[in-house]
Structure 1
Amino acid sequence: MSLPDWQQIDTVLLDMDGTLLDLHFDTYFWLTHMPRAYAAHHGLSEEAALAELNKSFSGLKGTLNWYCLDHWSELTGLAIAELKRDVQHKIGFRPHVKDFLQLLRDKGKRSVIVTNAHRDSVELKMARTGLDQLVDRVISSHDYQEPKESQAFWDHLLREEPFDKHRTLLVDDSEAVLQSAATWGIRWLLTIYHPDSQQPPRSDSNFPGIHHFNELDL
């Protein structure tokens, strides 16, 4: 599988966190800010809080509850959506994203964000960045009650957002999501090697990838 042939692509499906937006916000929130708040709320050390939370992290990955702020609020006793607002200044675009989205629009490609993020998180990030104004549509997996890792997500998406899977590109930083899309039949798939600006780039993937969107020539 190679980099996209733009003559054969009409629709571009785009992940949000780690693809269009810097994953650093999410990494910092889930591994630093939220555990600190949990420790303070429950009278634990930060180390004990993170260890306790990690037990929940490990069992939920890849499920809808993994991405559900309501679930995490119930589990932790914290108002997770409100807590995210405390560090919203860390929300930001990855490099060259705005130029890429404008280029898609100029070339007549339909751009649709497909994210596992909870709607409360989506709304916070759109208010902070105006990202929703740069694409044609924003879809959360919570709208369908199925994560992108599930084949049912793509079935729902096709019913609501008709597209030709053979003329569609998905860009996502998650290997599990890309594999799900490949199994379902999306032809063009691309990963992101550097989703978090504060972490080293990844080098391993089963899919072709880019570090930044300026590597793509439309």
Structure 2
Amino acid sequence: MNWYDYGARQYDPALGRFMTIDRFTEKYNTMSPYQYGGNNPVNNIDINGDSIIIQPNANGLIDQIKEFFGFDTKYQEIVKADLSQLKKDDAEVSGIISDLEESENIHSITMPKKGEFNSTEYDKEKAEKKISQGSTVFYNPYNQRRSRHENERRTPRVGLSHELQHSFDLDKKIATDETTENGIKLMDVRAINTENKIRSKTGDPKRTTYGTKKVPKELLE
């Protein structure tokens, strides 16, 4: 059978459907449990038959053709490869990604707008009320800089691991506004510790600051 293995489920390209029901079908109660990518394969790709969606972000004619015929765009290929490598880099980071894949919430990854940098978009009101939620990670796999104000360069997937920690916190209801004594959010400290796990594998220097503020040594792992 010419089925594609998406990890969680087998996909029949001839029918445009998975051959088993989505175990998170309650998230799409208006759709068939056999649907793919929210019935919008032009804009969505379901990388594991589950809950992390990578937007196509088509760039140029070749990507547009790939998108039309249901193949991964260059952006999707790179992000999938980065997620796979992050799983190999560190067991704890692998666990974060797996938890997001298995979440009842939807977490998506997309390219930031021109001139913007990596970030995570979420519902602040839900976060304040400690309600589990999905997120949108804006990730540029070509950009080695953290922000326009910082010149330090690091391997791009280091930045992805940072944002995925934010998504994990939002999913687990721990993305609060609690801060260190010098005003750094604890959720940012956790994200820095997560990216440092990857920095140790990529050869990038350990991160010890957030903006112009130093992370308290006792909170760094």
TM superposition score category, shorter chain reference: under 0.3
TM-score w.r.t. length of structure 1: 0.27
Specify which structure has the higher proportion of helix. 1
Higher relative contact order (CA 8 A, sep 6+): 1
